[in-house]
Amino acid sequence: MFSIPALPVSNACKLAFMERNSARTIADAIGNTPLVRLDRLARNWNFNLWAKLEAYNPGGSAKDRTAHAMVTASQLKPGDTVVESSSGNLGIALSREAVLGDWTFHCVVDPRANRTTIAHMKALGTVVHQITEPDPDTGDWLVARRARVAELLAQMPDATCLDQYSNTAAFVAHDEGTMTEIVNQLGHAPDHLLVAVSTTGTIGGCLQHVATHGLDTQVTAVDAEGSVLFDGHPGTRHLPGFGAGMVPELSKKISPHRVLRIDDRASVEAARKLVRTEAILPGASGGAVIAAVEKLSADIPAGSDVVVIVHDDGTRYMDTIYNDDWVEENL
């Protein structure tokens, strides 16, 4: 009988494999996502570029961490009802949490939410409410989504909103999870960390970790042109997942070391560059952080370790940022 000889595997590797692949429920598989070098993309730069690939969470994004942390910190019980606004990824993550917790989830989305994202939520039993018009006063979709959440809560007085825009459980998730993992995987703190921002939960947790542990990491917020975060000026934005049309409460609690604003087309071009060089298919915000590295590259000292967080996978964006017709029509 033909047999394949066993390859030597370190105890640390065995333990990491067991931690990643042995889980009581799918929620236990959240975290421990890979940190990979982007040597092909960085071949003309004299620093080391790494990507934290959050698409390897079970729901396909960093929002799995946020959703699980918010639910864990809540008093939710079977039979309860939750209403939340989402551009997509948090909606998927909370949809899964609802199944595992035996409660009902209503998610408010806008037309920018990808079709596959909405289908994913519905497959998990979520009631999806899709608004059709932006807020009449500001022209912003997020403001309109949150207004619809308020209406639904008034109609369902026993329902709860976990409110991802103010819930500091997100900081805990990315302090004790994401940033802790990055430091452990590198073996030391990175010199630079670039994080796309929307609710600012991810970057807030990373900043909290940096401050608590006295790290020298320079943390850059990567925002969208047209976003009002960190004193930005409102404008038209076509890409979901980063940027905001209103200032979330979480953002008022943090101060990134630097803010870079990336326009929609630059995000798309950088996303496509990443997939063509490293075979990593990012979402829109993943393209934005790569575009931000390109902007900063001349000022990054030689030998630095630069980490970008790639929040999600690009398969949900095939009809948008990876569709030439859509890009030409909208951007």
pLDDT digits (tens, 9 = 90+) for 58-105: 999 999 999 999 999 999 999 999 999 998 899 999 999 999 999 999
Residue 22's pLDDT is: 62
Longest Cα separation, the chain: 74
The one-letter code for the residue type at 70 is M
What are the boundaries of each domain within the chain?
26-61+168-330, 63-155
For the full predicted model, state whether its pTM sits above 0.85.
Answer: yes
Q: How many CA atoms lie within 13 A of 31 on its CB side?
A: 23
- Lookup: tokens for 154: 């008034």
Residue 21's pLDDT is: 58
Distance CA 112, CA 284 (A): 12
- Read off the pLDDT of each residue in 267-290 and give the average, rounded to a whole number: 98
Task: Determine the topology of domain 26-61+168-330 in CATH.
Answer: Rossmann fold (3.40.50)
Distances (CA, A) of 286 to 22, 162, 163: 28, 26, 24
CB 192 within 8 A of CB 296: yes
Distance CA 203, CA 222 (A): 10
User: Is the predicted pLDDT of residue 117 greater than 50, yes or no?
Assistant: yes
**pLDDT (tens digit per residue) in 297-331:** 999 999 999 999 999 999 999 999 999 999 999 99
**pLDDT (tens digit per residue) in 179-194:** 999 999 999 999 999 9
Confidence of residue 242 (pLDDT cuts 50, 70, 90): very high
DSSP 234: P
Confidence of residue 2 (pLDDT cuts 50, 70, 90): very low
User: Is the predicted pLDDT of residue 30 greater than 70, yes or no?
Assistant: yes
Confidence of residue 122 (pLDDT cuts 50, 70, 90): very high
CB 90 within 8 A of CB 66: yes
DSSP 47: S
Distances (CA, A) of 118 to 55, 88, 125: 17, 7, 11
Alpha helices in the chain, H assignment, sequence order: 11-21, 63-73, 89-101, 115-123, 141-155, 169-173, 180-186, 201-212, 264-278, 284-296, 324-330
- Read off the pLDDT of each residue in 36-55 and give the average, rounded to a whole number: 98
CATH number of 63-155: 3.40.50.1100
